[in-house]
Structures are given as C-alpha cells and as structure tokens.
C-alpha cells in the first residue's frame, strides 16, 4: 500500500515511510492510494471474531507486507489489551467508552500502535535516533508519552499550551522523564501545532534531526482509530438498528477514522461531528466556506482547535463533493453552558458521569434526533477524572481516582517553557 500527499506535490511513499516522515515534504497529509472494502462474510460473522482478529482484518491492507503478519498481530495485541464497552445511557442512546487504557483516553490506541510500528522499523533498519515531535490540546500528550516511554531509538518532545490542559493531563505528559520531554508553550494549541508543522519544513533542523510526528496527522496514529467503531458494531449488530455515531471532534482525526471504517463497509447511517464553540466545520457545513479561526478556550479543551488538520482527509474521502459529504456527516457546535447542563442531566437522570467531550457528543445525538429505529452512540473519549475541576462542581461529587491516575498525580511536573518557534528549534538542535 502506498500513500500520497493531499497537496499532491510530493512523491508517493510506503506505509513505513509515511509513519517515519509523518508529514509529506509539501506539507500535505498522507492518504492511502486505495481503500478496499472488507467482505460481506466478515460483517456477517463479526460477533464470532475477537477484537484482535477484527483489528488485524481492518488494518492489514494499509500496512501490507511492511510488517510481517506475526509481528503485526503482536503489535495489535499489545495495542488493544483493554476493554471498549458500549454502555446504555437512555433508550436508543449508548456511549462507547474509550477510556479504559493506560492514560484513560481514546488516543491510547493510536499512540500505542504507532509507537510499536516505529519501534519495529527502527529495529530492522537500525536507523538513527528518531525524534517524535507532537502538539497536544490535552489527551494526545499523555497517550503519546505513555505509548513511547522507553522505546529504544526514539525521543519524544511534546508541546502543550500553558494553562489550557487539565491538571491530570499535564501530569501525564510532564512526569514520566526518560525519553519523554514536555515543552510548555505560552500560547494556544494552534500555536503548538504551527510550531510542529514549521519544524517539519525547516531544512536546517531536518538536516540534523530525524523528525516524525505522533499527532493524528501521522497515518499510524490515525488509522488504528478505525478499530473501535468496528468493536462497537460487533456489540450492537444483533439489535438490528441503524447506527448513528456522534464523535466529539477537535482535530477531526477520530471522526475521519470512523468515516474510513464506513468506506471499508461498516454499516453506519450517519456520523455527527460534535464540537464546542470552535465551530469551523459546522460553519463549513452550513456555508460551504472553510474559514479557520484562532481557537477559543473551553471546558472541552481537547476540541479547542481553530484549524482541524484532518478535515482535509474527510474532504478527500468524499472527493470534495459537499453534497455527498452532507449525506453522511452532520456537524453541530455547543457552548460550555449547554455542556455543563447536559453533564448535570446525565448524572441526575441517567446515573451516568460524562466528561465534557462526551457530553458534547451526547448533545450532538439529541440535536440530530434519534428514533426507535436508530441506535445512537456517542464516544466517551476520556475518563471524567481527567477533568475533575469541571466535573466535580457540576455533579457535586468527588470521583475516586483510578490507579492509572494515582500513578502520576503526585509526581513532580517537569517542563521547558518557550514562547517562539526559534526557542523550540534551539532546544531541538541542542538536544
């Protein structure tokens, strides 16, 4: 399987090179040359497959023969060795809980898969040390730090916006040490992401550093997110209802993976991209004009993105045909007040504690409208404990800290403060 740049001004590359490069030389995101639907027999019998077997069938065409079957299956086994339960919340509405991994966020899947792929490629090629450079608006940082911790031949540098991630999120990415470095940026997530993109275009830096990215721009971070849409379908298949997924969306990698799952044949009636007031895509769906804006800070901080990178991949899936896109994708935005109100409602009326992002996903389902013939699923992308400063006052209850959080919450934060790209470049060249 080859991958091409969406800017179409760079050579096609293999899966391995797409993983190692992260971003194409023309600054485009990589996209697979072909997408082959899975067989009808696979979907007919999906409930008889293990999650590991499902994940292998889903990903193997994109990896092709660049990772041997035995190694790829071992990578998958280590990537998804936790649960992905569908939990009923209301009649015809349930949540897909994606927070049962080591950092309690959906990004554990992509980060663990990518770390193991990159580790394998480094091992067989005996390449120079790779520096993974990544920007985070919240959960990516902790997931990448955990996924790459101790991986030989890989250093990880994580940029995050100062004061704009939760305490738990910050501890997860600043306390591990070893091959993980946290850089606290005086700015927004968009500033962090711009610095990362600038680094990949800096010929001086690229001449001395083997850089790659672990954001969802990287195909090895993005594509494994298809797995849990299939895991949800496996659990829901026998309900014989049409499925609508509502995905809390910031950089749009997660919902783009869902749309890729649909391209592979997954039966989905509709996808909903639910956002906070950073409403670039809802506005595009209404006006046909894509207009990036400076991001605004909200209580659902992982979605505080003013120029979502992966939306260009969504447009590519639908060949830039806006009418076909609208047939499959709806998008709505919601305020912090609406988010808080529904968090309170879900706790008091449904006995379910949601984090701010999952609450936005639930709001998307309600706005779309779920009838008795439809099963609505909103993605609960992070454990509520990661947002205690928001959740506890709303439900007026203290949440017990899970063991994954207790491991880091009392550790000392270690981060390097910067304000400009020049400071980042100087650090990378020195290190």
Q: Which helix (H) or strand (E) is 118 found in, with range? A: helix 107-125
Query: Could you count the other beta carbons within 10 Å of the beta carbon of residue 63?
Result: 23
Query: The pTM is what?
Result: 0.90
Query: Residue 4, SS3?
Result: strand
Q: Annotated catalytic residue: which of 16, 107, 197, 234? A: 107
Compute the average pLDDT of residues 395-410. 87
What percent of the chain stands above pLDDT 90?
Answer: 74
Question: Contact at 8 Å (CB) between 420 and 178?
Answer: no
**Arithmetic mean of pLDDT over the chain:** 93
Which letter does DSSP use for residue 210 in this model?
A: E
pLDDT at 228: 96
Q: Which residue has the tokens 């609960």?
A: 380
The confidence band for 55, taking pLDDT boundaries of 50, 70 and 90, is very high
Q: Is 107 a catalytic residue?
A: yes
Higher pLDDT, 167 or 329: 329
Q: 286-300 pLDDT, tens per residue?
A: 999 999 999 899 999
pLDDT at 137 over 80: no
pLDDT at 166: 85
Higher pLDDT, 166 or 219: 219
pLDDT at 81 over 90: yes
Residues 6+ apart with CB under 8 A from 2: 12, 13, 14, 32, 33
Q: 27-45 pLDDT, tens per residue?
A: 899 999 999 999 999 999 9
pLDDT at 1: 83
pLDDT at 122: 83
- Which of 270, 307, 281 is CA-nearest to residue 29? 307
The confidence band for 126, taking pLDDT boundaries of 50, 70 and 90, is low
pLDDT at 127 over 70: no
pLDDT at 125: 74
Compute the average pLDDT of residues 309-316. 96
Q: CB under 8 Å, gap of 24 or more: what pairs does 290-299 form?
A: 294/188, 294/190, 295/188, 295/189, 295/190, 297/164, 297/188, 298/336, 298/339, 298/356, 299/336, 299/339, 299/340, 299/356, 299/387, 299/390
pLDDT at 417: 97
Which letter does DSSP use for residue 28 in this model?
A: P
pLDDT at 3: 97
Compute the average pLDDT of residues 410-416. 93
Distance CA 361, CA 378 (A): 5
pLDDT at 316: 97
The confidence band for 101, taking pLDDT boundaries of 50, 70 and 90, is very high
pLDDT at 151: 85
Higher pLDDT, 405 or 277: 277
pLDDT at 238: 85
């Amino acid at each position: 399987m080859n991958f091409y740049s969406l800017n179409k001004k760079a050579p096609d590359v293999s899966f391995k090179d797409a993983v190692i490069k992260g971003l194409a030389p023309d600054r485009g995101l990589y996209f697979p040359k072909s997408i082959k639907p899975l067989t009808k027999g696979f979907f007919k019998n999906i409930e008889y497959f293990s999650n590991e077997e499902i994940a292998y069938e889903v990903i193997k065409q994109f990896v092709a023969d660049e990772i041997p079957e035995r190694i790829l299956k071992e990578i998958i086994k280590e990537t998804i060795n936790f649960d992905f339960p569908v939990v009923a919340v209301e009649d015809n509405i349930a949540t897909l809980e994606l927070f049962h991994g080591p950092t309690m966020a959906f990004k554990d899947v992509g980060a663990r898969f990518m770390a193991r792929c990159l580790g394998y490629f480094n091992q067989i090629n005996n390449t120079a040390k790779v520096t993974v450079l990544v920007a985070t608006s919240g959960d990516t940082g902790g997931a990448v730090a955990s996924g790459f911790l101790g991986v030989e031949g890989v250093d990880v540098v994580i940029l995050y916006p100062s004061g704009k991630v939760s305490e738990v999120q910050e501890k997860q990415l600043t306390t591990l040490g070893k091959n993980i470095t946290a850089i606290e940026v005086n700015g927004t997530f968009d500033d962090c992401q711009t610095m990362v993109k600038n680094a990949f275009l800096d010929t001086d830096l690229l001449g001395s550093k083997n850089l790659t990215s672990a954001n969802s721009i990287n195909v090895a971070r993005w594509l494994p997110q298809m797995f849990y849409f299939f895991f949800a379908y496996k659990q829901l298949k026998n309900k014989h209802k049409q499925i609508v997924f509502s995905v809390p969306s910031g950089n749009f990698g997660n919902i783009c993976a869902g749309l890729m799952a649909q391209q592979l044949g997954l039966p989905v009636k509709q996808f909903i991209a639910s956002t906070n007031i950073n409403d670039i895509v809802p506005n595009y769906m209404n006006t046909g004009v894509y207009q990036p804006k400076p991001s605004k800070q909200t209580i659902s901080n992982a979605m505080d993105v003013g120029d979502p990178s992966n939306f260009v991949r969504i447009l590519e899936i639908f060949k830039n045909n806006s009418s076909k896109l609208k047939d499959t994708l709806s998008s709505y935005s919601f305020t912090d007040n609406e988010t808080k109100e529904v968090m309170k409602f879900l706790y008091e009326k449904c006995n379910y504690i949601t984090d701010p992002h999952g609450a936005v996903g639930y709001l998307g389902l309600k706005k779309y409208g779920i009838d008795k013939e439809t099963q609505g699923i909103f993605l609960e992308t992070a454990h509520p404990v990661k947002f205690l400063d928001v959740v506890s006052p709303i439900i007026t209850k203290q949440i017990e800290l899970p063991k994954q959080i207790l491991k880091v919450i009392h550790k000392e934060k270690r981060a390097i403060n910067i304000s400009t790209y020049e400071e980042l470049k100087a650090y990378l060249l020195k290190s």
